[in-house]
Amino acid sequence: MSKIIASAAIRGAYKIAEQAEEILNRAIKEKGNDCPVEFPNTGYFMPIIYSMTGREVRTLADFEEVLKDVKDLLPPHVDDDLWVPYLGHALDAGMATLFAEEVIEGCKYLIGPNPVDGIWLGAADDIILRERGIQFVDGTAPGFAAVVGSAPDVETAVTIARKLQERFLYVFMCGHYNGTTFSEQLVEGGVQLGWETRLVPFGREITAAIYSLGFASRAALSFGGVQAGDFRRNLLYNKNRIFAFVMPLGEVTDEWYATAAGAINYGFPVIADSDIPQILPTGVCTYEHVVSNIPHDQIVEKSIEVRGLKIKITKIDIPVSVSPAFEGERIRKEEMHCEFGGQRTPAFEWVRTREINEIEDGKVVVKGPDVDTLKAGGKLPLGILIEVAGRKMQPDFEPVLERQVHTFLNEAQGLWHMGQRDINWVRISNGAAKAGFKLEHIGKLLHAKYHDEYSSIIDKVQVTLCTDEKEVLKLREQAQAVYAERDARLEGMQDEDVETYYSCTLCQSFAPNHVCVVSPERPGLCGAYSWLDCRAAHEITPSGPNQPINKGACIEPKIGQWERVNEFVQRASGGNIPKMSQYSMITDPMTSCGCFECIAAILPMTGGIMIVNREYAEMTPCGMKFSTLAGTVGGGNQTPGFIGHSKHYINSKKFIAAEGGIRRIVWMPTMLKDDIKDTFIKRAEDLGLGGEEFLKKISDETTATTEEEVLEFITKAEHPAMALEPMF
């Protein structure tokens, strides 16, 4: 009976609105209505309110305006008979509830109880959004389950959480039932919570649901190129991209109904364990809106079906579960059974191409003592040699494949990996060892994952795991020679050396005009795709988003325009972008989707540019925070004077070569400076700018926060940009 749900949701909305008014009055009384209010480190204000209405909440006085919106949205209660249509009203009540809940949580940051408390994390900042939100866009995480309340017991909670993790889903938790919460139950069950494990405890109250939905709204703003206030696109983006759902466990109160009605606006259906009414006709969500009375052992499968989600789970014959959700699981010393590498023992990992008849597919060789010979806390050397063969395999793909070892190993529950090549470090947890995890399982895991993801280029995978120190050292020497050879080849690779660039249109799903053109010296702006990656990706999926572009005749070498590249971009951008330069941020610059690691922006007074990385949340000298700048730069438009780019690109010889390259950089946050330091100094030396000295001439947040201060700093420092021609 939808009527019961609509009636309850509307009642709940009034209750939450009342709570919001009450806490806001208290907050204003204590702090004054000009008191600033914000969630920490975000450029998206109160994200639901901001994304739906465009309203930038800065002070408590702005919340008063929000509550006017809430009142305006609150519909009449549903009458017992002769009712007027209530579906639209209930959805409006849901949105009003979310606005009111943001008011409540926002006020809590000011007058308590602090949303960040004990296990509770409160709002996710923009760094987390960048790291995690992108997974919803690239498909690594299909969506999230917003779990509300608590399971009947700890065991059920743990089983549900593990099943959700195994299906790559994030689990966002809020609300309590029966004196406890799902989050607390997981802690009791010994489950590691946090963003790394995709199990996110937002808060004890139902109002903390806004952190989930706010995250979804921000993903649309940040990665979807949706403008604040464009509520329709934001909600449809969520309906069609972020496959989330609500899973209320326990008695559904009016407040829960109201919040769930808010979630249904996003196309997120509700799958309940309790016997509440159902809403089966489709339309706002992809399929059913409310499905109820689902037994706990079926609720995960049912939720996925109701949401319309297809998740491919490859069952790998090893004693632990495998899912990206386990990728972030840490293994602390006391939880560790044994470890390898990490400067404690010699170790390496190496992908090597073989002829098809030289190796045997699926063969796993373990040389030397295994895990079960060790006591808890033990260590061994480890060589991981992955030999692959395939008609389409090329030695250039080796590093691409090798980089995957990190991801593949971390996805196994109870296995932890860090580093790469000969600085790798692997730990196996007590739990995994107890479950019978041995070295051969690493081999089986790698074999399965490589076949799963790279079947179009690899036909055979053979893995050797070696713990015999002598043998490891011997093999490591061979591997090191290959690493050095690769580095030399990659480093030397110039745009001029190749005839073919690659496109990346992966992000056109949300920035339809955007086309990345990836050349050896300009990697994709997200930092995830080098030219080699794109080439491999094209081999793997020939009709995919990475297409070869035979660059054709050069139109203008300095700014980097080629006939066929322009033709391609024009076509792939649906005719919107007729010309595009590979090396200029002023003349026909490359468009940006929304995934860029950094933004370069001109500072006209200084004759130079600033670069800000996504992790930097403070104000920048151009007067905009990263998130605001991102709104200007992203969405697939050409914005002369602004480009989105990867961190790696800064050290490329082709970095805004048309405008003078790194000589133009007059400001970068210290964290970015630290990040790129080593290569940057080398690059500056090559250009005769004086290595470390040049880096010191570039101001940062400790020396300049406004354009005037930047100018003052670089004038004193005699920064080379001062001597350059104006940029335009």
Partner 1 sequence: MEAKERSCDKASQEMIELMAKAGRENAWDRLEAQSPQCGFGKQGICCRICSMGPCRITKKAPLGICGADADTIAARNLVRMIAGGAAAHSDHGRDVAHTLKMAAESDSCDYTIKDGLKLMEVAARYGIKIEGRETNEIAKDLAETMLSEFGKHEGTLISAAAYPPPARQKVWEEFGVTPRAIDREIVEIMHRTHMGVGSDYKNLMKQGIRACLADGWGGSLIATEVSDILFGSPWPIRFGTNLGVLDSEQVNIIVHGHEPTLSDIIVAVSQEPEMIKAAKDKGAKGINLSGICCTANEILMRHGIPVAGNFLQQELALMTGAVEVMLVDVQCIMPALGSLADCFHTKLITTSPKCKIAGAQHIEFHEDRAIETAREIVKMAIDNFGNRKGACHIPGVSERGIAGFNTENIFHHLGGRFRASYRPLNDNVINGRIRGAAGVVGCNNPKQVHDYGHLAMIKELIKNDVLVVSTGCSAIAAGKAGLMRPEAAAKYCGPGLAEVCEAVGIPPVLHVGSCVDNSRILTILSNVVAEGGLGEDISELPVAGAAPEWMSEKAVSIGMYFVASGVYTVIAEPLPVLGAPNLTRYLTDEMEKDVGGKWAFEADPVKAAHLMIEHIESKRDALGINKARERKLYDMEDRRALAVE
How far apart are CB 77 and partner 1 at their closest, in Å? 12
Q: For residues 12 and 258, give the distance between their C-alpha atoms in angstroms, rounded to a whole number.
A: 5
How far from chain centre, in Å, is Cα 575?
30
Q: For residues 451 and 173, give the distance between their C-alpha atoms in angstroms, rounded to a whole number.
A: 35
CB under 8 A: which stretch of 119-127, 178-186, 275-283, 694-702 binds partner 1?
A: 275-283
Q: For residues 647 and 612, give the distance between their C-alpha atoms in angstroms, rounded to a whole number.
A: 10
Q: For residues 198 and 132, give the distance between their C-alpha atoms in angstroms, rounded to a whole number.
A: 9
Distance from first CA to last CA of the chain, Å, rounded? Answer: 65
What tokens does 506 get?
């992966």
Letter string b/e over residues 277-316, b meaning 16 or more CB atoms within 10 A of that residue's CB: bbbeeeebbbebbbbbebebeebbebbbebbebeeeeeeb
CB 23, CB 299: distance < 8 Å = no
Which of 85/492 has CB closer to partner 1?
85
- Report if residue 1 touches partner 1, rule: CB under 8 A: yes
Which of 83/483 has CB closer to partner 1?
83
How far from chain centre, in Å, is Cα 583?
27
Phi-psi category of 222—alpha, beta or left, where left has phi over 0 and alpha has psi -120 to 50? alpha
Site for partner 1 in 237-266 (CB under 8 A): 237, 240-241, 243, 265
Q: For residues 504 and 346, give the distance between their C-alpha atoms in angstroms, rounded to a whole number.
A: 38
How far apart are CB 135 and partner 1 at their closest, in Å? 11
Residue count at the site for partner 1 (CB under 8 A)?
53
- Collect all residues with Cβ–Cβ distance below 8 Å to 588 and sequence separation of at least 6: 559, 561, 579, 580, 581, 638, 640
Per-residue x/- mask for partner 1, residues 280 to 299, rule CB under 8 A?
xxxxx-xx-x----------
Which of 65/360 has CB closer to partner 1?
65
How far apart are CB 73 and partner 1 at their closest, in Å? 7
CB under 8 A: which stretch of 170-178, 229-237, 528-536, 708-716 binds partner 1?
A: 229-237
Of the CA atoms within 13 Å of residue 444, those in its CB half-sphere come to: 15
CB under 8 A: which stretch of 273-281, 462-470, 651-659, 694-702 binds partner 1?
A: 273-281
Q: For residues 674 and 709, give the distance between their C-alpha atoms in angstroms, rounded to a whole number.
A: 21
CA distances from 199 to 114, 323, 546, 573 (A): 20, 13, 33, 38
- Report if residue 194 touches partner 1, rule: CB under 8 A: no
Which of 82/553 has CB closer to partner 1?
82
Which of 224/520 has CB closer to partner 1?
224
Site for partner 1 in 506-535 (CB under 8 A): 509-510
How far apart are CB 399 and partner 1 at their closest, in Å? 25
- Report if residue 553 touches partner 1, rule: CB under 8 A: no
Q: Which of 258, 281, 264 is nearest to 93 (CA)?
A: 258
Which of 142/368 has CB closer to partner 1?
142
Q: For residues 59 and 347, give the distance between their C-alpha atoms in angstroms, rounded to a whole number.
A: 55
Which of 198/427 has CB closer to partner 1?
198
Site for partner 1 in 456-515 (CB under 8 A): 509-510
Q: Which helix (H) or strand (E) holds 561?
A: strand 561-562
What tokens does 520 get?
């050896």
How far apart are CB 667 and partner 1 at their closest, in Å? 35
Among 295, 312, 333, 718, binds partner 1 (CB under 8 A): 312
Which of 282/455 has CB closer to partner 1?
282
Which of 96/433 has CB closer to partner 1?
96
How far apart are CB 222 and partner 1 at their closest, in Å? 14
How far apart are CB 184 and partner 1 at their closest, in Å? 33
Which of 231/483 has CB closer to partner 1?
231
Per-residue x/- mask for partner 1, residues 64 to 103, rule CB under 8 A?
---------x----x--xxxxxxxxxxxx-xx--------
CB 469, CB 449: distance < 8 Å = no
What tokens does 212 get?
């989930």
Among 152, 229, 308, 640, binds partner 1 (CB under 8 A): 308
Which of 224/621 has CB closer to partner 1?
224
Site for partner 1 in 384-443 (CB under 8 A): none
CA distances from 549 to 499, 557, 630, 642, 726 (A): 8, 17, 28, 25, 33
Among 20, 24, 27, 52, binds partner 1 (CB under 8 A): 52
The residue type found at 457 is I
CB 642, CB 600: distance < 8 Å = yes
Which of 282/715 has CB closer to partner 1?
282
Which of 229/552 has CB closer to partner 1?
229
Site for partner 1 in 122-181 (CB under 8 A): 138-139, 142
**Binding residues for partner 1, per CB under 8 A?**
1-3, 6, 52, 73, 78, 81-92, 94-95, 138-139, 142, 224, 231-233, 235-237, 240-241, 243, 265, 279-284, 286-287, 289, 304-305, 308-312, 509-510
